[in-house]
């Protein structure tokens, strides 16, 4: 990606939060701002849920509260990340126009009383929202405090897939533009199956709930349409702002576990700076690895450019089955891991913990307990560190390995009818990433079809849906000397969800040097033993190598005797294939072997246990910055020379990193 027309300018690394002053009386605002200054907060997102305050009745605007708070923040030297305020419609709008309410797949509406209760295709909602944006951007567009625009909030978090009649009509329009003819659509969706052939455009709807499984082509296109529809909404708001303000514009992405509805590869080019929200998800096997993955993907979306962590938490969230508090030092480790992986801003949801509303048990920078609390002290400590590492801003993360990630594959994999319900796309990605992460390798996350020439090792986990041209980029790169690992279920269908016939892995088949005849998944929890002593689970396949060498085969299970791990020489490179999901230790050992073969080193050498350590280097013009995050409780020693910025000491040859600590070494650039 080229440098955006409107770069986000900030002095050093931004440190901030969402701030909802509407929830508090103005006398609290002074205390808030004084404490923000104490913590080093210098970027505050406001007006995220402002609509019912700014426009209490249709067409009647009242900016007095927002004028006041922006003025106070400005006087305190705090920059404003200004929300357009449109994320949740006010009651008067949904009462007067109930047709803006979204409809879920069973054909029932969802009502106001929560948030984001609007249909992305609704022209009524859009007109009302754009009128508000016009008023807000007109009033504050050139306000000196406003350094960033925050369009809506987490677009599509709740309302991405709307099935109302307005959405259905918009979907038809999108399909017409894509296919031109109804025959083209019938071919793409395979409607010859189950008597689904369409004769008229008006016969087509969104994939509402059915008695049986739904047409997978229709589901896939509905995902694409829904992502595009919200992007068009984002563009409509951004167009208004661009006319009235010269500040950069973004919206907060949700690159985080379990949220799959928007294809951010197609969105990212519209952002002046990529911004992401991330929350640790304790339902996962390895929440820390997922945090790093999300950070790497956020960086990947901006083509490697620095990005902003717009929200994360100081402690528990309120929306998981069990909402865990953070341990001592975890705020620092989490925040600085994001910075290590390219964030030039770390912000939290939210400033002051709410006393009311459904997020009153969500953590905040200033907790219910007030400033005499461990959370507050850690927030202030973090603010101090962020201040000291300002020079890191603008530097770029170094990576010589990449992982190919695709929202389309995510959607296609989650098809209602698949070989095993236990097979999830993100699980495959996380397992591969966790192995790279445990091995200490820094990874760029790239889109299918992206240029791979900067990398020596590429991992392609479960890339179920792939276009011939995207696969060719990977196989040509291998032929030119790259080392790749492709994992099972990759190359199964094309962009129309049509199976690549002739043996699975389709367009990867020749490069991998094997032919898969049949998938043979196993019950979750059933161990599979491999001939090299490894164990695996979830998946096996019956295949035959053509030119590949078998590195390990299944010793038991439904594919006994068939290859589990293979390596094929392809041109001057190596194409590895993994036909199962190995144990975490075996996956890591495999990655270690490939990294060794490809000549991909970790960012620095660690003495002692390395499992719970992550080390990433950001390279700047005058210096580079080595980030070391020790998630474990045991101290470690890492090879490093330079000035350590957390403690402010010089280190020469090595640095001691106590359990739970973060160290950041400023290394002089090589002459």
Cα–Cα distance between 484 and 573 in angstroms, integer? 8
d(C-alpha 216, C-alpha 130), whole Å:
35
**Chain-centre distance for alpha carbon 185:** 31
Q: Taking CB under 6 A as the criterion, which residues in 352-371 touch ligand GLA?
A: 359, 362
Contacting residue, 260, 311, 444, 497, with ligand GLA by CB under 6 A: 311
* List 311, 330, 541, 667, catalytic entry: 311
Element (H, E) at 649: strand 649-651
Q: Does 378 bind ligand GLA (CB under 6 A)?
A: no
Q: What is the dihedral of CA 224, 230, 233, 234, to 10 degrees?
A: -110
- Nearest approach in angstroms of CB 252 to ligand GLA is 6
Pick from 505, 569, 587: which is nearest to 543 by CA?
505
Q: Smallest distance from the beta carbon of 285 to ligand GLA, in angstroms?
A: 21
User: Which CB sits closer to ligand GLA, 362 or 618?
Assistant: 362
By beta-carbon proximity to ligand GLA, the closer residue of 359 and 611 is 359
Is 639 in the active site?
no
- Of the residues 279, 455, 500, 508, which one makes contact with ligand GLA according to CB under 6 A: 279
Shortest reach from residue 47's CB to ligand GLA, in Å? 12
Beta carbon nearer to ligand GLA, 118 or 477: 118
277: contact with ligand GLA by CB under 6 A: yes
Cβ nearer to ligand GLA, comparing 283 with 421: 283
* Alpha carbons 573 and 555: distance in angstroms, whole number: 28
Nearer to ligand GLA, 89 or 521 (CB): 89
Q: Is 382 in the site for ligand GLA (CB under 6 A)?
A: no
What's the chain's length in residues?
A: 671
| Minimum separation from the CB atom of position 362 to ligand GLA (A) | 5
Nearest to 32 by CA among 298, 327, 350: 350
* Least Cβ distance, residue 273 to ligand GLA (angstroms): 17
CA distance readout (Å), 354 to 26, 212, 357, 364: 15, 44, 7, 8
Instruction: Give the count of beta carbons closer than 10 Å to the beta carbon of residue 144.
Output: 9
Candidates 84, 116, 152, 153: give the one binding ligand GLA (CB under 6 A): 153
551 flagged as catalytic: no
Candidate list 154, 272, 586, 667; residue touching ligand GLA; CB under 6 A: 154
Only one residue has tokens 């011939």, namely 468
Gap between the terminal Cα atoms of the chain: 29
Taking Cα atoms as reference points, which of 281, 292, 357, 352 lies closest to residue 322?
Answer: 281
Query: Could you tell me the smallest distance in angstroms from the CB atom of residue 249 to ligand GLA?
Result: 17
Residue number, 161 or 317, with CB nearest to ligand GLA = 317
> Do 460 and 486 meet the contact criterion of CB atoms below 8 Å apart?
yes
Verify binding: residue 349, ligand GLA, rule CB under 6 A. Answer: yes
Q: How many residues bind ligand GLA (CB under 6 A)?
A: 9
Is residue 19 close enough to count as binding ligand GLA by CB under 6 A?
no
Q: Which of 301, 317, 429, 471 binds ligand GLA (CB under 6 A)?
A: 317
Long-range contacts of 169-177 (CB under 8 A, 24+ apart): 169/121, 170/121, 170/225, 170/229, 171/204, 171/205, 171/206, 171/222, 171/225, 172/201, 172/202, 172/204, 174/221, 174/225, 174/228, 174/229, 175/201, 175/204, 175/221, 175/225, 176/201
Give yes or no for residue 255 binding ligand GLA (CB under 6 A): no
Beta carbon of residue 153, minimum distance to ligand GLA (angstroms, whole number): 5
Under the binding rule (CB under 6 A), the answer on residue 278 touching ligand GLA is: no
By the criterion CB under 6 A, which residues form the site for ligand GLA? 153-154, 277, 279, 311, 317, 349, 359, 362
Residues annotated as catalytic (active site), given as ranges: 154, 311
């Amino acid at each position: 990606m080229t440098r955006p027309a409107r770069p986000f300018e900030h002095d050093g690394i931004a440190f901030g939060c969402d701030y909802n002053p509407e929830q508090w009386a103005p006398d609290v605002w002074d205390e808030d701002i004084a404490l923000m200054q104490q913590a080093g907060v210098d970027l505050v997102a406001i007006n995220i849920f402002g609509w019912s305050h700014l426009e209490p009745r249709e067409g009647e605007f009242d900016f007095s509260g927002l004028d006041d708070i922006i003025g106070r923040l400005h006087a305190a030297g705090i920059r404003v990340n200004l929300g357009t305020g449109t994320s949740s419609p006010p009651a008067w709008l949904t009462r007067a126009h109930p047709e803006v309410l979204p409809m879920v797949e069973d054909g029932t509406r969802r009502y106001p009383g929560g948030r984001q209760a609007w249909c992305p295709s609704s022209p009524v909602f859009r007109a009302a929202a754009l009128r508000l944006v016009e008023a807000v951007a007109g009033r504050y567009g050139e306000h000196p405090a406003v350094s960033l625009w925050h369009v809506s909030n987490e677009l599509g978090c709740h309302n991405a897939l709307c099935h109302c009649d307005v959405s259905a009509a918009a979907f038809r329009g999108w399909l017409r533009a894509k296919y031109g003819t109804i025959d083209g659509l019938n071919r793409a969706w395979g409607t010859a199956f189950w008597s689904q052939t369409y004769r008229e455009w008006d016969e087509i709807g969104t994939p509402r709930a059915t008695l049986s499984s739904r047409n997978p082509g229709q589901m896939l296109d509905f995902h694409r349409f829904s992502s595009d529809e919200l992007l068009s909404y984002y563009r409509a708001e951004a167009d208004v702002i661009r006319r009235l303000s010269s500040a950069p514009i973004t919206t907060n992405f949700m690159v985080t576990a379990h949220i799959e509805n928007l294809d951010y590869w197609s969105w990212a080019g519209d952002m002046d700076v990529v911004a992401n929200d991330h929350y640790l998800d304790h339902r996962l096997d390895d929440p820390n690895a997922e945090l790093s993955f999300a950070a790497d993907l956020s960086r990947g979306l901006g083509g490697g450019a620095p990005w902003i962590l717009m929200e994360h938490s100081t402690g528990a969230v309120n929306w998981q089955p069990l909402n865990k508090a953070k341990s001592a030092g975890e705020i620092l480790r989490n925040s600085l891991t994001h910075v290590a992986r390219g964030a030039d801003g770390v912000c939290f949801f939210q400033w002051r913990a709410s006393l009311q509303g459904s997020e009153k048990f969500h953590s905040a920078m200033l907790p219910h307990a007030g400033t005499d609390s461990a959370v507050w002290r850690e927030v202030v400590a973090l603010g101090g560190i962020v201040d000291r590492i300002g020079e890191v801003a603008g530097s770029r993360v170094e990576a010589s390995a990449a992982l190919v990630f695709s929202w389309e594959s995510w959607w296609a994999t989650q098809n209602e009818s698949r070989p095993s319900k236990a097979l999830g796309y993100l699980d495959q990605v996380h397992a591969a990433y966790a192995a790279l992460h445990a091995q200490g390798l820094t990874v760029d996350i790239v889109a299918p079809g992206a240029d791979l020439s900067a990398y020596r090792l590429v991992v392609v986990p479960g890339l179920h849906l792939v276009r011939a041209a995207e696969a060719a980029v990977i196989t040509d790169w291998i032929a030119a000397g790259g080392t790749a690992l492709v994992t099972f279920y990759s190359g199964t269908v094309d962009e129309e969800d049509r199976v690549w016939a002739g043996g699975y892995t389709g367009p990867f088949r020749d490069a991998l040097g094997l032919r898969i005849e049949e998938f043979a998944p196993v019950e979750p929890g059933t161990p599979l033993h491999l001939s090299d002593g490894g164990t695996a689970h979830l998946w096996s396949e019956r295949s035959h190598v053509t030119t590949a060498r078998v590195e390990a085969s299944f010793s038991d299970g439904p594919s006994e005797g068939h290859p589990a791990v293979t390596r094929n020489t392809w041109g001057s490179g190596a194409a590895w294939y993994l036909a199962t999901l190995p144990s975490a230790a075996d996956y890591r050992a495999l990655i270690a072997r490939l990294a060794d073969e490809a000549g991909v080193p970790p960012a620095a050498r660690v003495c002692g246990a390395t499992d719970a350590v992550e080390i990433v280097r950001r390279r700047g013009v005058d210096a580079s910055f080595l980030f070391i995050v020790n998630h474990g409780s045991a101290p470690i020693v890492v090879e490093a020379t330079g000035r350590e910025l957390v403690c402010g000491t010089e280190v020469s040859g090595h640095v001691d990193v106590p359990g739970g600590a973060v160290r950041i070494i400023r290394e002089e650039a090589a002459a």
